[in-house]
Each structure stands twice: as C-alpha cells, then as structure tokens.
Amino acid sequence: MTEDNFVDYVKIHVSSGKGGSGSTHLRREKYVAKGGPDGGDGGSGGNIVFVSDKNLWTLYHFKFKKHFKAEPGRNGSKSRSSGANGKDEIIKIPVGTVVKDLESGEILFEPISDNEEKVVVPGGKGGLGNWHFKSSTNQTPKYAQTGLEGHEKQLLLELKVLADVGLVGFPNAGKSTLLSVITDAKPKIANYEFTTLKPNLGIVRHRDFKSFIVSDIPGIIEGASEGKGLGHHFLRHIERNSTLLFLISCESRNVIKEYQTLLNELKNYNRELLDKERIVVISKSDLINQKERLAIKNKLKTNLQKIESHFISAITLDGVVELKDLIWNKLNS
C-alpha cells in the first residue's frame, strides 16, 4: 500500500431516511358504502449502519465518496397495508475505526473485532394510518400522521491501527529498517528525517508458526503532543498496542534523555500509554564497540531499572532473533 492510499482521518455527511406517511384511505366496496378507515401505516426510514470489516486497512474508500443517504420509508396504503421500510445504508469501516459526532465529539461506535454492527443514525419513524384514529365520535377520520424526518449528521472517522507492538522513536532512529527486517513489510527507507509519513504494519513470523503484528509510525519529536512535527497526527495509532518498543540509535548523545523525551510526549498525549509494557532497544549497534555498548548498558540499568533493554543491528541482524523472543514473551506474559 502506498502512502497516498493510506487514509486514516476523514469527515463524512450521513442522512437517514424519512419515515413514510400513513394513509387516509376509506374502504369503499360494492355494497359497502361506508366501510370506514383502513389506511395503513408508513414504513420507517432507512438507518445509517456501520459495519466493521477486517479486510479493510484504511479509510481510502471514503476519499471519493463522503455523502451517504438511506432510503425513505414508503407511504401506507389501503387495507391497512403498511408501507415498506426504507433500505438501510450500510457503511463498512476497518476494525479499529472510531466514529465520532463531529459537532459534539461523542464517540458513537468503536469496533475492535470483525463484523461488529451498529445503527449510528436511526431513520425516521413511519406515520400511523387513519384507522388508528377511529373512535365512537369520529367514525371516518380523514387524517393520518406524516412520517418523521430522518436525521443528518457530520461524522468524523479516525482509524487507530490495531497492532501488538508499536515502534516509538525519533525520526531516523531505524524503525522502518527494523520493520523491514523482522517482517515482510516494505516501508520507505532513506537517510533523512520523516522518511515515514504514514503508519506501516508488518506481521512478524515467529517460532512454531506463531506471529504478532508490529506498527511503525512517523518519528516523534519533542512537542509532538502539542502538534509539532508529524507525531501529533499519528500518536493515536499506538493507543491500542499492548507493548511499546522504544527504538533509540546508539548514535544518540544521551540515550536516557531521548527515552525520557519520548516518554514525556506519550504522557502529554495520553497518560494511559504509560501503563503499557515497554522495551528499550538500542539500534545500529554495529557502529559501536563492546566498551561503548557496555557503557550504554550500564546507563540503562542504572536509570531504567524496571525496563528491559536490548541491542540490535538491522544490518548484521545481531540480536534480532533474541528481540523477537523478548517481544513474544512480553506479549504472552
């Protein structure tokens, strides 16, 4: 999937169907001059229904269609025949999409599994036919209810990528390179910041046919939670990861400070992210010798006592298999 095809934030306009009107029909047959009212009820207007679909990975299909309208209900007819209900408008979305009311900000639907379904905007109710209004004092009512209008809403759709592990790091820390090594994903890799402009997903194939999903988001910079850089738009993609992998280059001047900066941005965005499991991984370890590696390891041990750390090289593959084992054990502990 190209970056242009990855759409994770759209605004759409939806309208449910108007209810059908009740009938004012009066029964007239041969030899039955005054048969009385027999007007049927109007049908209900169609609903706006959202359904989650595991085969969708992006909101790209909303790029060219942003207006959705359900069918109106049919009017009632004679012999107390009710009008047909309007056809529902079915809107399919990827698993993990948050459907919000744009005006109020209320979350209307948030599916986390396949084939979840919800009526987000109900259709208008059909009107009652005139036979409902017959009484001892009004034997032939010539009026009926009109159907209720449907509802219109502006909705905001936000996709939050579902993955087991989220890669967190500064731009050019080597996240995309690591993803390309441990999965079959082919993210764009280059030696400049913000090479990754959209989240990437990859499936890690582990021992004994086991697997887990890793997501790589654009690099976070200081101030990302306030809107700086690109991270502000994509931090939501790690809200559903059970484990966060902090990737820090061995070229960093201060590994501990870089980790604390990343952690602080996550905290400012959503404090609940701090409750997730964490692993600190030092990348590009082929660029340093054993003495330098030991010095970094001691710093991590002193300052991050409860956080596991690991050294890897995506070029020589040093430590990559061990990292997979570490992640798998963390996910299943």
pLDDT at 188 over 60: no
Task: Look at 16-20, 122-126, 271-275 and tell me which has the smallest mean pLDDT.
Answer: 271-275
pLDDT at 151 over 90: yes
pLDDT score at 6:
63
CATH of domain 1-159: 2.70.210.12
pLDDT at 190 over 70: no
pLDDT score at 126:
96
pLDDT tens digits for 223-261? 544 444 444 566 777 787 889 999 998 888 888 998 998
pLDDT score at 144:
94
Q: What is the pTM of this model?
A: 0.70
pLDDT at 121 over 90: yes
User: What's the fold here for domain 165-331?
Assistant: Rossmann fold (3.40.50)
pLDDT score at 161:
75
pLDDT score at 186:
60
Q: Which residue has the higher pLDDT, 72 or 217?
A: 72
pLDDT score at 225:
45
pLDDT tens digits for 165-174? 888 888 777 7
pLDDT tens digits for 25-54? 998 877 777 778 999 999 999 999 999 998
Three-state secondary structure readout of the chain: CCHHHCCCEEEEEEECCCCCCCCCCECCECCECCCCECCCCCCCCCCEEEEEECCCCCCHHHCCCCEEECCCCCCCECCCECCCCCCCEEEEEECCEEEEECCCCCEEECCCCCCCEEEEECCCCCCCCHHHHCCCCCCCCCCCCCCCCCCEEEEEEEECCCCCEEEECCCCCCHHHHHHHHECCCCCCCCCCCCCCCCEEEEEECHHHCEEEEEECCCCCCCHHHCCCCHHHHHHHHCCCCEEEEEEECCCCCHHHHHHHHHHHHHHHCHHHHHCEEEEEEECHHHCCHHHHHHHHHHHHHHCCCCEEEECCCCCCCCHHHHHHHHHHHHCC
Q: Which residue has the higher pLDDT, 15 or 161?
A: 15
Sequence ranges of the domains in the chain: 1-159, 165-331
pLDDT score at 187:
47
